[in-house]
Chains A and B, each alone.
Chain A
Amino acid sequence: MIVNILVGIGVAFFGFVLQTSTAGVNRKIVGRLQKRYGPRWYQEFIDIFKLLSKRSVSHGWIFDFGVIMALGGVIGTAMFMPITSSFVAFQNYDNFFIYVYLMAVGMLGMAMSASGSGNPWASIGVMRALTTMLAYEVPFLIVVLTIINISGTSSMTEIQLFQQAAGNNWFIIALPLGGIVGVISLMGMLGKKPFETYIAPAEIASGPMVEYGGKQLGMLFILHEISAFIEISLFVHLFLGGATNIVEYLIKYFTVYTFVNLISNVNGRFKIDQVVTFFYKWPLLMAVTQAVIAIYFGWVI
């Protein structure tokens, strides 16, 4: 058990390093896209370690406690994440709903801490973040319902093995409509444009982040990277057939992140009510259509 927990901590650390580097490389890619040089690929690491080393302010115990709870919840979630179909810290216990709901405890901690700062911008940001969550989760969960119903398991490893088995396609091909919904929901989860309404630096002063500095902000950066790792890994495992070895995983991971990042960079920002109406119109409709086709008619490519 101790070994498993240590492996889990290793996975969380690996996720942090992987996502921070990927994000760094992507900053360079976007820079080139906009005819800039862009920062060095390890700039994100420098930012985080600089923040962690600085002296900061605190607005009371809940402000600190919320940050700890948030980072703890997200690290805990990452510990359950399989890297490939044969490498996972806790065999058999990598149930899909753990990722969604254990990460929610992290989000709750962050929301709590932000509201505890007493800054109205933070509360507005939290309100927007929760509203966005209400928007993207439902279509995404309907697609996952289809996947679990077809593959007969909600374990992430088993879902990967199901797609890798001979005769089965990756779910992004087997369930094309669901795949599109998956991509859109992933952008919502990652807070990429056009769904980055809750950060909106020019509008609500970075929303939940407004009061943070120093180590608290550094920890929230770590939280952000690890949760991005969880979300992208979920997408890779659910829709792209997972991975049989680490190289395949890294390639898929990098491709997915770069792809959504490129899409987001040519988009503007939705208003918060537009986010809700958007997700409850086309993605939900597509998700339900896909579910009906796949579950009731059994038409899976």
Chain B
Amino acid sequence: MASIELLILFLVGTGIVAYLLTKLNTTLGSIFTIFSVMFVFISLASYGFNLGLNETVNIIPGLTFTQTYLGFYFAIIIVFIYLMVSFFHPYYLDDYKYKDSYNLLFLLSLAGIIGAFYTDNFLQLFFFFELIIWTTMFLIPQGKSREAAVTYFGFSVAGSVAMLLGIFMIYQSSGTFDISIGLASLNGTTSIFVFVLFLIAAFSKLGIFPLHIWLPIAHGNAPHPFSPVLSGALVKLGAFIGVLALIKIVPATGVIGVIDMHVGQYIVAILGSLSIVFGTLMAIKEDDAKKLLAYSSMSHGGYILVAFSMLNSVAFAGGFYHILAHALASAGAFMAIAAVARATGTTKMKQLGGMIHKMPITYLAYLIAIISMAGIPPMGGFLSKWLIFQAVINKGMILVAIAVFFGSVGSFLYVFRPLASLFLGQELTEYKGVKEAPILMLIPTFIIMGLNVFTGTFPGAILKYINNIIVELGYAGINVTSSGIVDVYSGQGVLNPTLVSMVFGTGTLIAFLIFILLKKSRKVDLMDTYTAGNFVHDEHLLHYSVDFYAPLERLYEKQSNWMTKFYDALALKVKEIGKFSKYLFMSKNIGTTIFWIIAIIILLLWGEVL
């Protein structure tokens, strides 16, 4: 019987052991980390599904735990991503400056995650959130840039402070830190304030417009094995807070009649839509493969938020399924890019080309991940997007629908870009010596590939589990059979994912038969192409990868950096205020200092009198 408390203590303990082992030998420490995470994953998976974990607390004083389907769903996904990524550690850690502490921080942040999803107390939630933020903050600068960590930390802290303020407001109105009682007791103006504050926390973690600036900076510059965790797992913390705020708090705002939605929720849906559109447009423009995927995370965060703002069970099912599908797809894609980056030393797409000939399995992993990310059957992303589409159509939310459809089609564009210019195209001479990723890195790649297909083909069991969460949240579960046939809004949409995959398989079989029965083709070199009569000897000249979508990018070139400009201007203003206060308070003149001390004391006393 696994106990939640023991799992957390286990992770802290193994973290320290991993630190010592890594100091001794990086590979040894990393392998130890793999086994620790695997132990936690197996304990969670074997006892957690039916909420059979032990909740009692014996050792750490003051902590209380509870189990919910909601918390478990998030926890198992995130622990799984951690497990998959930990297989990459032995091959990357040697390059990092502070490699000894990498495994320690990695395991500590996982402890924070288990704590955050199993707590029933707001202060603990805040504590574990901070634990996650502080540990990951030291992981990010091991990659390319320190500035990335600062940006990540700044936005995360803004989110946590907002959440803390919300927690205090709940405490003020209800007198308890208990999550479910506290959220249920809200009403009137307080509910609006708490709603907004919690959503700021959710937005900053999930990277939703207008708090999205940190995503590409942090994801793009984080260490290669940590980017999948950031995008696949950690941003989902924001989704968790978003679920708490959107579903459990009913802000005292009006209701929009035609679409039957609260104003508060509708504004969130619009902001989610904006981040879908912005994320898509920026991803299309981006040249760094990791930053591109980061912008795609922003866009998918928008889908999750749109789904939860609609407040009905089909949309919830879509949102929860999307969390799983995007975690798998994004982790798969980031891991493939990480493998390429390890082999070539760069993630800039314009410097890469023709990697498929050297790394075919990595290519397949990326291909399957992006099919899911673009929401194309037979992968998991299709089902979740399908559920969200049906919900949007049923509500008749036209403006949101534009964004949702735009993001969906736009995702074909941006996911194809790395495929075309990084993996396909001419095989560039400088990468002739590159080899496929080692077998230990291919294990998680294969598992994630398999799961991407599985979630798209046999969703029955997962959707049934999601129904448990939806019932727990107080809504009726959606109509799904155990073979995965989904029927939403009593006949508005019926989908049989297994059949879709089977028919696709049949079609491919027919195409394959046509192909194989005809005359065999002659194999020719990649340089042996039609060049309109010119002799081109250089692979680079025949490789189309710089500014892939140039004609489209030109249409919004001028508008593309105004959010960055806004934040730059904001940073400048903050600096100016800092300078001004420095001028006022930090003067070298001792008289000024004494004046302020006296003034503040008088103010404090005066406040006491009042």
Contacts and interface: CB of A to CB of B under 8 A. Distances in A.
Interface in A85-132: 90, 92-93, 95, 97-98, 101-102, 104-105, 107-108, 111-112, 115-121, 123-124, 126-128, 130-131
A108 B544 CA distance: 18
Nearest to B382: A101
A297 to B, nearest CB: 9
B495 interface: yes
Contacts of A295: 258, 396, 398
Nearest to A8: B503
Interface string B402-442: 10011001101100100111001111000000000000000
Given A71-B514, A108-B376, A216 B521 contact: yes
Contact of A219 (B371, B393, B410, B515): B515
Contacts of B528: 57, 59
Q: Which of A5, A120, A133 has the most CB of B within 10 A?
A: A120
A79 B503 contact: yes
B506 A101 contact: no
A287 to B, nearest CB: 9
B409 A62 contact: no
Contacts of A152: 489, 491-492
Nearest to B257: A296
Contacts of A102: 376-377, 500, 503-504
Interface stretch (A26-34, A170-178, A207-215, A255-263): A207-215
Interface in A3-51: 5, 8-9, 12
A45 B424 CA distance: 33
A184 B403 CA distance: 21
Interface in A210-264: 210-211, 214-216, 218-219, 222
Given A72-B510, A126-B416, A154 B410 contact: no
A9, A74, A76, A79, most chain B CB atoms within 10 A: A76
Nearest to A102: B377
A137 B356 contact: no
B258 A271 contact: no
B532 to A, nearest CB: 7
Nearest to B409: A137
A12 B507 CA distance: 9
Interface string B519-545: 111111011111110000000001111
Nearest to B379: A105
B188 interface: no
A47 to B, nearest CB: 15
Interface stretch (B17-25, B314-322, B551-559): B551-559
A183 interface: no
Given A131-B413, A145-B398, A120 B374 contact: no
A112 B496 contact: no
Contact of B377 (A8, A55, A98, A117): A98
B405 A214 contact: no
A182 B426 CA distance: 39
Nearest to B509: A72
B503 A80 contact: yes
* Majority DSSP secondary structure for residues of A touching B: helix
- How big is chain A's contact interface, by range? 35 or more
A93 B499 contact: yes
Given A108-B412, A118-B529, A68 B508 contact: yes
B504 A58 contact: no
A92 B507 contact: no
Contact of B499 (A90, A108, A115, A292): A90
A76 B496 contact: no
B511 A219 contact: yes
Nearest to B536: A120
B69 interface: no
Interface string A60-76: 11101001111111111
Interface centre among A9, A58, A141, A276 (most CB of B within 10 A): A141
Contacts of B43: none
Nearest to B520: A55
B374 A57 contact: no
A79 B401 contact: no
A12 B390 CA distance: 27
Identify which of A118, A120, A291 gathers the most chain B CB atoms within 10 Å of its CB: A118
B401 A141 contact: yes
A55 B519 CA distance: 6
Instruction: Output the residue of A54, A130, A277 with the most chain B CB within 10 A.
Output: A130
23 contacts: A5-B503, A5-B506, A52-B514, A68-B508, A76-B506, A116-B424, A118-B354, A119-B530, A124-B544, A130-B416, A133-B409, A134-B409, A134-B413, A134-B552, A141-B401, A145-B401, A148-B492, A205-B530, A215-B521, A272-B552, A295-B396, A295-B398, A296-B396
Interface of A: 5, 8-9, 12, 52-62, 64, 67-77, 79-80, 90, 92-93, 95, 97-98, 101-102, 104-105, 107-108, 111-112, 115-121, 123-124, 126-128, 130-131, 133-134, 137-138, 141-142, 145, 148-149, 152-155, 158, 205, 210-211, 214-216, 218-219, 222, 271-273, 276-277, 284, 288, 291-292, 295-296
The 3 A-B pairs of least Cβ separation, nearest first, read: A72-B508, A76-B507, A75-B507
